Chains A and B, each alone.
Chain A
Amino acid sequence: MALLEIKNATKAFGGLKANEDVTFDVEAGSIVGVVGPNGAGKTTLFNSISRTHDLTSGQIIFDGKDITKYKAYQACAHGMGRTYQIPQALEDMTVLENITVGALLKHSKVFDAMEKAKEVSEFCGLTELNGKLASGLNVMQKKRLEIARALAGEPKILLLDETMAGLNGVERDEAIELIRRINKSGVTILMIEHVMKVVMSVSDKVVVIVSGKKLMEGSPEEVTTHPEVINAYLGGGHNAGR
């Protein structure tokens, strides 16, 4: 059974339809990539799924529950973790405190939550930064911190919004490795990604969104060789696999 089902999701801002009739499933345990050109409506879709804003119409079924009317914190409590494209760290708090806030969802005692946070911090390679204020981190570290905070809440699914943007090659490889490890630990991953190489190497399935509509879905190979995708997303004449 699919862990997450998005059914005919439509989101309109006034007359502008940012998402129209988007439907796809995310199987439990898989990594699904969402790709599309700038302004295609990927982040809007993410915000609808994570319940940051309401859908105009359509339905989101998560882990057997209809969460279409949930608030963000309820969706989170139900097992949905997310990160933001522009990292939204809790700037006045230290790295460990940031992660502790996430961990408090499942551990109501601060001491236990902090132990969990230390564990997650190590898993994400942030241990050395534990005592540092989040406002002092660089972008890569902030993105890691967001992942760590989401993971600390022990989510069933993790929504990653452009985790790779702005990273160099080495950092990117580290990030890919982290995503693989998270997935291996049993967390389903739905990620928006611009870097084709990343999508190709980690995704089990890729969903292509163009102008707010789903163009197609399939394996990375199917998607990157599909002429319409190449045309819409990469511009004519490019080889997507490169």
Chain B
Amino acid sequence: MRLKSVLASEKGFVRQVVIVMVILALIPAISRGEFFVSTLCLSVIWAIMGIGWNVIGGYAGQVSNGHAMFFAVGAYVGAWGLKAFHMTPWITMWIGAALCMLLAFIVGWPLLRLRGHYFAISTMAIVECVRIICTNWDLIGGATGVSFFEKEMSPFYTLQFQNRVPFYYICLAFMLAFIIISRVIQQSKFGYYCRAIKANQDSAESAGVNSTSYKRWAYMISAAIVGIGGALYAQYIQYIDPVSLLPLSNSMLIVLIVVMGGIGTIWGPVLGAFIMTFINQYARALFNQLSGLNLFIYGVLCLIIVLFLPKGLISIFTNDKVKGVFKKNKESGKEAE
């Protein structure tokens, strides 16, 4: 009964979810090429991380530039769980998420007192610390990293697939779950309070919002989602090391995906992740003889998006002016909030 009334009030959202999911589920039918499907998997993983970052960065307005650390924690826990204890990522990813929450709680204690740019810079510093620790901590592999490819066990146990199509659907299921969580957050008291903090923290406090506590919870939820993304990534790539997991560019890419897609929206991170990952992967493959050119193209495209669609790509579907041009594609799916 309750579910029915919720579904009735969320008709628009349910329709969006169905359309987007059907489209994404059918994409592998276009091509099953290895590179194409790999890029799809990466896109979904980055979308999950974008959704996670969006909780603290988009809803609560605290721009964290250090989310690669949660990404790495999730990845390391998944990797070592499988390598050392033969534990399935289906279990270890939740342990990783819990650890991410704990880490966010501890790190957030001092950092969330800072506002604006100070918070952004301090999170950047923390992730650098984590990178140096991981590089020098031999127990967890140090600079050489962890290689944990498992041939013996079932791919559904290890989440390591030769053919990546099933993995794509598993990631998609996770993304769906987080999309729904994101929507629930957005429509709840928690979401309203986060938006109030983003808009004006002092004003929110005098309206009865305990900003410290709400920011901390937003940071922890955000960390947990990114941690799950990290666990999926580890099983996708099957080899992890601090250099590939914890560079500043990874932290920035998470931010970029959300900002490009549409900050504070449900579908922005998804749209951003797909477009960014595809551009990045294909530019890299196409211009492999000219190293760096892919980043150049990437940068130019980012610049164009920022200049002409400052509210993110998702505004194509919400902005009335642009809508006129795209009127025919109105039902094409990723309508924003």
Residues on the B chain within 8 Å of A93, using CB: 195-196, 199
A113 to B198, alpha carbons, bound, how many Å? Answer: 20
* Residues from 179 to 232 in B contacting A, C-beta threshold 8 Å: 187-189, 192-193, 195-196, 198-200, 202-211
Whether A110 contacts B199 by the Cβ 8 Å rule is no
Q: Is the CB of A104 within 8 A of B189?
A: yes
With contacts A101-B193, A104-B189, A110-B189 taken as known, whether A90 is within 8 angstroms of B205 at the C-beta atoms is no
Tell me the A87-125 residues at the B interface (CB within 8 Å).
88-93, 97, 100-102, 104-105, 108-110, 113
A24 CB–B CB distance under 8 Å: no
Q: Are B205 and A73 in contact (CB under 8 A)?
A: yes
A22-52 CB mask vs B (1 if < 8 Å, else 0) is: 0000000000000000000000000000101
State in angstroms the CA–CA spacing of A97 and B187 once bound together: 11
Residues of A within 8 A of B200 (CB): 88-91
A110 pairs with B187, CB closer than 8 A: yes
> Contacts A90-B200, A92-B198, A93-B199: A110 and B207 contacting too (C-beta < 8 A)?
no
- Given A88-B200, A92-B199, residue A102 in contact with residue B192 (CB < 8 A): no
Asked if A209 is at the interface (CB within 8 A of a chain B CB), the reply is no
Partner of A105, one of B188, B198, B207: B207
Give chain A interface residues in 68-83, CB to chain B under 8 Å.
Answer: 71-74, 76-77, 82
CB proximity of B63 to chain A, nearest CB, Å: 15
Contact in complex: A73, B208 (CB < 8 Å): yes
> With the chains together, A90 CA to B198 CA distance in Å?
8
Question: What class of interface size applies to chain A in its complex with B?
Answer: 20 to 34
Given the known A-B contacts A97-B192, A101-B193, A110-B189, are A72 and B205 also in contact in the complex, defined by CB atoms under 8 Å? yes
B-side contacts of A150, CB under 8 Å: 206-207
Nearest-neighbour CB distance to chain A for B141, whole angstroms, equals 44
Chain B residue at smallest Cβ distance from A135: B199
Q: What is the CA–CA distance of A73 and B202 in the complex, to the nearest angstrom?
A: 10
Contact B206 A52 (CB under 8 A): yes
Contact of A113 among B189, B195, B199, B210 (CB under 8 A): B189
| Complex CA–CA separation, A76 to B187 (angstroms) | 23
**CA of A72 to CA of B202 in the docked complex: distance in angstroms?**
9
CA distance A150 to B205 in the complex (A): 11
B204 touches A153 (CB 8 A): no
Most buried by A among B192, B196, B206: B206
Contact B204 A77 (CB under 8 A): no
A104/B199 contact (C-beta < 8 A), A73-B205, A153-B208 known? no
B203 near A84 (CB under 8 angstroms)? yes
Complex contacts, B208 vs chain A, CB 8 Å: 73, 76-77, 102, 104-105, 153
A149 within 8 A of B: yes
Kindly list the 3 A-B residue pairs having the minimum CB-CB distance in the complex, ordered from nearest.
A90-B199, A88-B203, A76-B208
* Contacts from B to A (Cβ < 8 Å): 187-189, 192-193, 195-196, 198-200, 202-211
Residues of A within 8 A of B (CB): 50, 52, 71-74, 76-77, 82, 84, 88-93, 97, 100-102, 104-105, 108-110, 113, 149-150, 153
Besides A74-B210, A104-B208, 6 more A-B contacts (Cβ < 8 Å) are: A82-B206, A93-B195, A93-B199, A104-B192, A113-B192, A153-B208
